[in-house]
Structure 1
Amino acid sequence: MLDMMSFAATLLPAAALTFPDVSPALVSIDLGFLGLGTFHLRWYALGYMAGIALAWWYASAMIRRPRLFGGTSPLTKDQLDDIMFWIIVGIILGGRFGYVLFYMVPYQFDVIAANPLTIFKIWDGGMAFHGGILGVTIALILFARRRKVSLLSIGDIAGVVAPIGIGLVRLANFVNAELYGRHTDAPIGMVFPEGYVRGSTPPAYNWDTGEWAYTGFETARHPSQLYESVLEGWLPLIVGSILIWRFGALKRPGLIAGLFLLTYATGRTIVENFRLPDSFVEGLPDWITMGQLLSIPMWIGGIWLVWNALKSKPATSS
C-alpha cells in the first residue's frame, strides 16, 4: 500500500512545470529600528498601482481625442483626475465588502462573529472582483450624476482600461502562488507550493525565511491565474482597443462597457472550469461555481448595454 508521499508523487506527470522561485515581494525593507518590523512591497500591490496608473494614462489619451467620441470628450482632464480617485475607493471598498458579502457572510460567519473587525482587515487578504466591479459602478453613477456627464461614455472608458489592472493583478496572483487550478496531467501543469491556511488557495510563503514551504503533497495544477490574465485582461483590452481606434466604438455609448462585461463574464466562466474552487464554498450544484454564479449579472448587464448601443445611431462630429 502506497504511503501518502508516494501517492502524491504519482499525481505528478513527468512533464510538470515547477513553480518559479519568485518572492511575492519585490522589495523587503527592515524597519525594525523604527519599531515597525519589515515592510514588504508586494507584487500584488504593485499590480494594482501599475494598473491604475496605466488606466489613467490610457484614459487620458482617449479624452484628448474628441473624434473618438463623435466630437466631444465626455471628461475634462480635471474630471478624469477626480474620477480616478473615486474609482480607487470603489475598487477597495467594493472588492473587500464584496468578498465579505459573497464569501464570508454565507460561509465564514463564525470568523466574523468571533472578531467583527475581520471585515476591515484587507491586509489579511480577501478581495472579490465582482464586488470591485459593483463598487466602481456605484462610483461612476454617483460621479456622473454629480458632474452631469455621460454615464455610458465614462463606463466605456472604464471598460477598456479596467482589463489592464485585471491582467496585472492576475499575474500577481500567479507570483503569490494563489488561486491556482485543478489537477491536470497536461504538460502545462505546474507544481505550486500549497499552504494549509483556510481560504482560497493561499500562498505557502514564509516571510521570516523568505522561502516557499513545499509540503510534499503538491500535485500538478493548471496555472489558471495565467489563463485569467489572458482571458479576463489582455484579450478584452486588445479587442476593446481595436474596436475603439479602428471602428469608432466609443461613438456608440455603452457598447464598450457592455462588451467588457460580456468578455469578462465569458473568460471567467471558462476559466472556472480549470480553477480550483474555494475550499470553504459549499452547497452549490456541481455544474456551477461561485465565480460563474456572480458573473450572471454581468451577462445580463452586458447584453442590455450592447443591444441598447447598437440600436441607437452613433454620435457624429458637428
Structure 2
Amino acid sequence: MLPLLAPPLLAIPFPAFDPVLVSIGPFAIRWYALAYIVGLLGGWWLTRRLVSNPSLWGGTAPMQPADLDDALLWIALGVILGGRLGFVLVYNFDYYAAHPLDALMVWRGGMSFHGGFLGAVVAMVLFARSRGISVLSLFDLVAATVPIGLFLGRIANFVNGELWGRVADVPWAVIFPTGGPEPRHPSQLYQAGLEGLLLFAVGMIAVRMGALRRPGLVAALFATLYGIVRIIGEMFRQPDPQLGFFAFGLTMGMILSVPMILAGLWFIRRALVTPPRG
C-alpha cells in the first residue's frame, strides 16, 4: 500500500450522521431500511411506467402493470432472504455458525448484493411461471430499475459509516469513526455513482434504443456492467476484515462478480441473435 502523502489532518472529517432517521419508542427507522423501501417503491413505479409504454416493446407489453404490484412483494422477499443468506454463508459463516440466532437479526445490518441478486432471480422465476409471463422480460424490467436501490443503498452505507474504503491520500479522503485515524476512500460514494447512476443511465439508454424488444438484453447488460463496476469499486473498498484479501489481491466481491460478467456476456450474445419482438 502506498504511504500517505498528506497528513491525516487534511482529510475530510466524517459528517455527524445519525443512522436512525426516526425513532418512536422501541421502534426505529434507519437510513438503510429507508433506502431499501424507497428503492423498491421507486423501481415498482418505474417498471409500471415502462410496461405502460407499448412503443418500448414493439407492441403490447408481455405483462400488465397489475402483475408488477404482486411481483414487488416476491422480489422484496427474494432480495431480503437472499441478501441475508448470502452474507451469513459467504461473508461471516464462522460467526453465525457459533451464533445462529443472530442470523435472524437483519435489523443489525449485513446484506450481500450477490445473495440478494440470486434471491431476486429465484423469486422472479417462480413468480413469472406462476403467472405465465415472460421470465426474461421481467428480468429486463427489474434490471433497468434496480440501480435506483443500489444508489440509495450505497448512500446509506456512507451515512452509516460502514463499508469504507482503503487508506488514501486523495484530497477527498474521509476519516470514518470506525475506520481508524487514517483517511480513507469514500468508496461507498464511488459505488453509488458506478452501480447506481452509471448503470441507471446505461439501462435507460438501452431501453430507449429498443432493448426491451430483445428479451434478456437489458438484464444481461446489467449483469455484465455491474460485475465490471463492482470489481472497479472493490479496488478502492477495504475488504471485510473476516475475509481479507485472496490470492493476487482479489476480494470476495471481485470473485463473485466474475460469474455475473460471464453469464451476462453469454446472454447478451443470445439476445442479439434472437429476432426482436414486433
TM norm. shorter chain > 0.5: yes
Provide closer, same or farther for how the CA distance between residues 67 and 287 of structure 1 changes in structure 2, counting only shifts above 3 A.
Answer: same
1:170 to 130, 142, 154: 154
| Superposition pairs of residues 116-135 of structure 1, within 5 angstroms | 116-135=100-119
Residues 190 and 223, structure 1, Cα contact 8 Å, conserved in 2: yes
Q: Which runs of 5+ in 1 are unaligned?
A: 1-8, 32-36, 196-216
Cα distance in 2, alignment partners of residues 28 and 152 from structure 1: 41
1:149 to 133, 136, 139: 133
SS across alignment from 1:75: coil
Count of aligned positions: 275
- Provide the residue aligned with 1:244 in structure 2: 207
CA shift for structure 1 position 235: 0.5
CA shift for structure 1 position 146: 1.5
**TM-score calculated relative to the size of structure 2:** 0.94
| Superposition pairs of residues 205-220 of structure 1, within 5 angstroms | 217-220=180-183
Cα distance in 1, alignment partners of residues 255 and 187 from structure 2: 18
SS across alignment from 2:10: coil
| Superposition pairs of residues 224-235 of structure 1, within 5 angstroms | 224-235=187-198
Q: Which runs of 5+ in 2 are unaligned?
A: none
Amino acid at match of 2:233: V
Provide closer, same or farther for how the CA distance between residues 112 and 22 of structure 1 changes in structure 2, counting only shifts above 3 A.
Answer: closer
1:69 to 57, 65, 70: 57
- Provide the residue aligned with 1:23 in structure 2: 18
Offset from partner CA, 1:254-295 (integer Å, 9 cap, x none): 110001011111111001010001111057214211000111
Cα distance in 1, alignment partners of residues 97 and 192 from structure 2: 35
Residues 253 and 309, structure 1, Cα contact 8 Å, conserved in 2: yes
- Provide the residue aligned with 1:201 in structure 2: none
SS across alignment from 2:88: helix
**TM-score calculated relative to the size of structure 1:** 0.83
Name the larger-Rg structure: 1
Amino acid at match of 2:13: T
Residues 11 and 220, structure 1, Cα contact 8 Å, conserved in 2: no
Out of 163-172 and 294-303, give the one that drifted further: 294-303
How large is the RMSD of aligned CA atoms in angstroms?
Answer: 1.7
CA shift for structure 1 position 28: 2.3
- Provide the residue aligned with 2:98 in structure 1: 114
Cα distance in 2, alignment partners of residues 176 and 116 from structure 1: 25
SS across alignment from 2:92: helix
Cα distance in 2, alignment partners of residues 187 and 181 from structure 1: 14
Q: Quick check: which one's helix share is greater?
A: 2
- Provide the residue aligned with 1:291 in structure 2: 253
Residues 272 and 291, structure 1, Cα contact 8 Å, conserved in 2: yes
